[in-house]
Amino acid sequence: MIGCLPTGLPGFAERMRQDGRMRVLDSHLHLWDPEVLTYSWLEGALDWAFAETELIEEQLVGPGEEAAIFVQADPSEGQQLDEVRWVDSIAHATGVVAIVAGARLDRGAETAAHLAALAEHERVIGVRHLLQSEPDGFARRPEFIDGARLVAARGWTFDACVTTHQIPDVTALAAAVPELSIVLDHLGKPVIGTADAPLEPTAEWFGDVRELASSPQVFCKLSGLPAEAGGVWADEQVAPFLDSVADAFGPDRLMWGSDWPVSSIDFSAADGGAYLIGARQRWFRTVADWADTRGLDAEQIFWSNALAFYGIR
């Protein structure tokens, strides 16, 4: 059971048994419960609790060990610390060994105080200011860069969740704060079409990704493409995008993430979409099969790269 996994305490990596079976550290897992916290963006099939019980039903089949990194789920303003406390309370039951907490980085002294409060929770190893909701150029602003430097000074990481046209802003941030470890969420959310009408990677997206990858402290998450496809995808549809980031970043800067439960929703279904049982498993299988056919090291993509990036010991 997931509830039997170790907690996010020092020595986690060493305690995981090595029995020859595949190990998976899901680098991008969401959890929420609308009865605990408020999420103004939830609607349709997403407007339900996705926590311990639901995740146990979606435990991966195949890996010998499974654990996860929780990434903030954008609760209402002022609830970021409450979110960390809640995730801490269910971390053992959900296999969460580390937390990427929500934090606004553009508020000067308020940002510094918030980061200090987050530091009281040992599972916090990074932050995310949701840039996809901000105007273009936001990550280039002096006040944001100051906040990013505070994150780097703590030895924490930054998850960059942006839309495609904002990728150059992340490149600028990486240049401005080279000491900050950054991971690009969801391949930068490229437009990939649908399973019935797939689209090829654009030259603009690939060029921006390649430029971003020239900063050695930047990694990329193999996550989120199912959601970009509307929840239903074909393996051959996503393979060119996976190939592109593998070419840009190299296999030692890629990490798998399920983006559960966002990437487990069929958004084309009526009445706000439908939850797809087993979609998390299918995305795991899609990336594992892709890595195998490309001769890539699954241990890196599904385990060690995420450990190294987030500094989990």
Which H helix or E strand runs over 175? Answer: helix 167-176
Q: Can you give the pLDDT at residue 13?
A: 46
Mean pLDDT rounded to a whole number for the chain = 94
pLDDT at 244: 98
What per-residue confidence (pLDDT) applies to 17?
46
Range from 5-19, 149-163, 247-261, 265-279 carrying the lowest mean pLDDT:
5-19
- Asked if residues 158 and 126 have their Cβ atoms less than 8 Å apart, the reply is yes
pLDDT beyond 60 at 76: yes
User: What pLDDT, on a 0 to 100 scale, did the predictor assign at position 16?
Assistant: 45
Alpha-carbon distance of 3 to 101, in angstroms, equals: 22
How many other C-beta atoms lie within 10 A of the C-beta of residue 266? 15
Decide: 86 and 98 in contact? Cβ < 8 Å. Answer: no
- Relative orientation angle of helices 80-94 and 109-118, to the nearest 10 degrees: 20
Domain boundaries, the chain: 22-310
Check pLDDT > 60 for residue 5.
no
Quote the pLDDT of residue 20: 60
168 upstream amide cis, omega within 30 of 0? no
Q: Phi/psi at 246 (nearest 5 deg)?
A: -65, -40
What pLDDT band is residue 98 in, cutting at 50, 70 and 90? very high
CB 185 within 8 A of CB 160: yes
Encode pLDDT of 206-237 as tens digits.
Answer: 999 999 999 999 999 999 999 999 999 999 99
pTM of the model: 0.94
Secondary structure (3-state) at 230: coil
For residue 6, pLDDT beyond 50: no
What percentage of the chain carries pLDDT values higher than 90?
Answer: 92
Q: What is the pLDDT of residue 19?
A: 52
Beta bridge partners of 70: 29, 99
For domain 22-310, which architecture applies?
Alpha-Beta Barrel (3.20)
Model confidence at 18: pLDDT above 90: no
Surface-to-core class of residue 175, CB atoms within 10 Å of its CB (0-12 exposed, 13-18 middle, 19+ buried): exposed
**Rounded to whole angstroms, how far apart are CA atoms 288 and 310?**
21
How high is the pLDDT of residue 272?
86
Tell me what pLDDT residue 14 has: 47
CA diameter of the chain: 50
Residue, of 7 and 202, whose pLDDT is higher:
202
Cα-to-chain-centroid distance, residue 280? 14
What CA–CA distance (Å, rounded) separates 228 from 193? 8
What is the b/e burial string over 75-111, where b = at least 16 CB atoms within 10 angstroms of the residue's CB? beeebbbebbebbbebbbbbbbbbbbbbbbbbeeeeb
